[in-house]
């Protein structure tokens, strides 16, 4: 049976299967089950995996920005900026003296870019420009020709152009206002690709899918979905991170079509029961599969509030003795949390019930963090706690 990227109605699949025999009927039933399972909000394979060879590459370069309105580097302090400016002018046939280099309109910058996969020579990519010295703003500056190097030290792109800065700084003698980051900006289509990384997909005999969130169950589901679509045992997971697919004969010399068909398949990723805690900000994130055994929880705080005040004491009217003086008065309040209650959380409750139960105690995020850690220590929280 030929398989294409176009989905057929289950009734049509059954009619074809009945006309082709029992073996085709079994395969069709598998396709119908897979099609029915793909409509429950599952994720596409392309959204949870990376394909081998289809990857970005980081580029970096060092250059000069000119045309700044007095917001550049201080050449007296920025020795590398001064040396770079002298070197550039020397290449252009200008030999300035040290005393002549006192401009505040030049800044040394780092240029970063991402080289997309399979980009053609002559294509343009965006670049990010960031100040390296003590420049206060790159607004209005122009980046001069800057080679962008890869990890191997080779030049893969050349950047140049007007910098677009989203922030600004303005102020006077008494006050300064800064919005955003004026020392960083972007140049849209500011670099021309001069060299590409060769990667031939035409003659590939095997395709490897790398899971972004490694998991045994998810890797197996991907392999089962691919095999059900191809109608052959071509996909096998080697570990929780990688699924290897042998290129079928129907896709020989046409791996692009194979990847296109595979990445549109839908599976439901499995996730580890995990609780993520950020103690600094009090953020708690709990996964869907977090469960809890029967446990009783109580939360209360002992609060002692001491208030000091001064009271004027003076003798009564027409008293023959006594002086007017100031007397210290101390008021002590003790809150033992009598209004706090003991709450029992039954085993097998859902995440929503867990949150509702903790909220019923009037517990804030930071107290909830401590409670979750205590429940985990008691062995009642069936999840992994990860503290950021």
Sign of CA dihedral 97, 98, 102, 106: positive
Nearest 5°: the CA angle 58, 60, 66 is: 145
Q: Is residue 312 part of a domain?
A: no
The pLDDT, as a whole number, for residue 274 is: 82
On whether both 206 and 141 belong to a single domain, the answer is: no
The pLDDT, as a whole number, for residue 318 is: 67
Q: What is the mean pLDDT of the chain?
A: 79
The pLDDT, as a whole number, for residue 227 is: 95
Give the domain-ending residue among 141, 171, 193. Answer: 193
Tell me which residue range forms the domain holding 212: 43-53+200-267
Quick: pLDDT tens for 370-382: 877 887 887 777 7
Inform me whether the pLDDT recorded for 29 exceeds 50.
no
Q: Is residue 63 part of a domain?
A: yes
On whether both 90 and 133 belong to a single domain, the answer is: yes
On whether both 104 and 189 belong to a single domain, the answer is: yes
pLDDT tier for residue 3 given thresholds of 50, 70 and 90: very low
pLDDT tier for residue 167 given thresholds of 50, 70 and 90: confident
On whether both 62 and 188 belong to a single domain, the answer is: yes
In 243-302, which residue ranges form alpha helices assigned H by DSSP? 255-263
- 9 token code pair: 């109605």
On whether both 357 and 248 belong to a single domain, the answer is: no
Q: Is residue 328 part of a domain?
A: no
* Interval 322-331 mean pLDDT: 71
The residue with greater pLDDT, 157 or 386, is 157
Q: Is residue 326 part of a domain?
A: no
The pLDDT, as a whole number, for residue 1 is: 39
On whether both 115 and 63 belong to a single domain, the answer is: yes
On whether both 357 and 383 belong to a single domain, the answer is: yes
The pLDDT, as a whole number, for residue 172 is: 65
On whether both 14 and 48 belong to a single domain, the answer is: no
pLDDT tier for residue 258 given thresholds of 50, 70 and 90: very high
Look up the CATH number of the domain holding residue 251.
Answer: 3.30.1360
Q: Is residue 116 part of a domain?
A: yes
The pLDDT, as a whole number, for residue 370 is: 80
Count of domains forming the chain: 4
Q: How many CB atoms lie within 10 A of CB 354?
A: 18
DSSP code string of 33-97: HHHHHTTSSPEEGGGTEEETT---EEEEEEEEEE--SS-S--TTT-HHHHHHHHHHHHHTT----
On whether both 246 and 293 belong to a single domain, the answer is: no
Let me know if 142 is exposed, middle or buried by CB neighbors in 10 A (0-12, 13-18, 19+): middle
On whether both 90 and 134 belong to a single domain, the answer is: yes
Sign of CA dihedral 185, 189, 194, 199: positive
On whether both 61 and 179 belong to a single domain, the answer is: yes
Q: How many CB atoms lie within 10 A of CB 374?
A: 14
Q: Is residue 257 part of a domain?
A: yes
Inform me whether the pLDDT recorded for 203 exceeds 70.
yes
On whether both 111 and 206 belong to a single domain, the answer is: no
Q: Is residue 313 part of a domain?
A: no
Give the domain-ending residue among 215, 243, 267. Answer: 267
| Of the candidate ranges 20-24, 188-192, 259-263, the one whose mean pLDDT is the lowest | 20-24
Q: Is residue 319 part of a domain?
A: no
């Amino acid at each position: 049976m030929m398989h294409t990227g176009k989905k057929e109605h289950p009734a049509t699949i059954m009619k074809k299967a009945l006309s082709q025999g029992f073996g085709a009927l079994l395969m069709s039933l598998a396709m119908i089950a897979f099609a029915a399972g793909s409509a429950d909000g599952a994720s596409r394979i392309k959204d949870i995996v990376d394909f081998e060879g289809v990857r970005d590459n980081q580029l970096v370069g060092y250059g000069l920005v000119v045309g700044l309105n007095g917001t550049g580097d201080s050449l007296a302090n920025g020795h590398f900026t001064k040396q770079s400016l002298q070197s550039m002018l020397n290449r252009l046939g200008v030999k300035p003296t040290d005393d002549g280099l006192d401009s505040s309109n030049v800044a040394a910058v780092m240029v970063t870019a991402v080289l997309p996969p399979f980009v053609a020579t002559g294509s343009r990519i965006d670049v990010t420009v960031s100040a390296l010295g003590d420049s206060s703003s790159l607004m209005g500056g122009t980046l001069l020709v800057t080679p962008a190097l890869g990890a191997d030290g080779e030049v893969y792109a050349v950047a140049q152009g007007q910098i677009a800065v989203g922030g600004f700084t303005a102020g006077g003698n008494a006050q300064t206002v800064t919005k955003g980051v004026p020392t960083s900006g972007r140049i849209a289509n500011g670099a021309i690709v001069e060299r590409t990384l060769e990667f031939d997909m035409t003659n590939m005999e095997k395709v490897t899918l790398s899971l972004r969130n490694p998991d045994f169950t998810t890797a197996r589901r991907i392999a089962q979905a691919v095999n059900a679509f191809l109608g052959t045992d071509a996909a096998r997971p080697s570990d929780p991170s990688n699924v290897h697919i042998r290129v079928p004969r129907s896709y020989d010399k046409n791996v692009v079509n194979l990847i296109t068909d595979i990445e549109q398949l839908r599976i439901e990723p499995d996730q580890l029961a995990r609780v993520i805690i950020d103690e600094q900000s009090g953020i708690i994130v709990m996964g869907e599969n977090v469960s809890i055994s029967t446990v009783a929880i109580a939360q209360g705080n002992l609060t002692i509030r001491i208030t000091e005040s001064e009271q004027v004491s003076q003798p009564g009217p027409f008293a023959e003795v006594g002086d007017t003086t100031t007397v210290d008065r101390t008021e002590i309040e003790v809150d033992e949390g009598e209004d706090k209650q003991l709450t029992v959380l039954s085993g097998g409750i859902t995440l929503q019930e867990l949150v509702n139960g903790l909220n019923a105690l009037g517990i804030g995020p930071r107290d909830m963090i401590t409670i979750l850690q205590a429940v985990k220590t008691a062995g009642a929280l069936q999840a992994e706690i990860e503290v950021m």
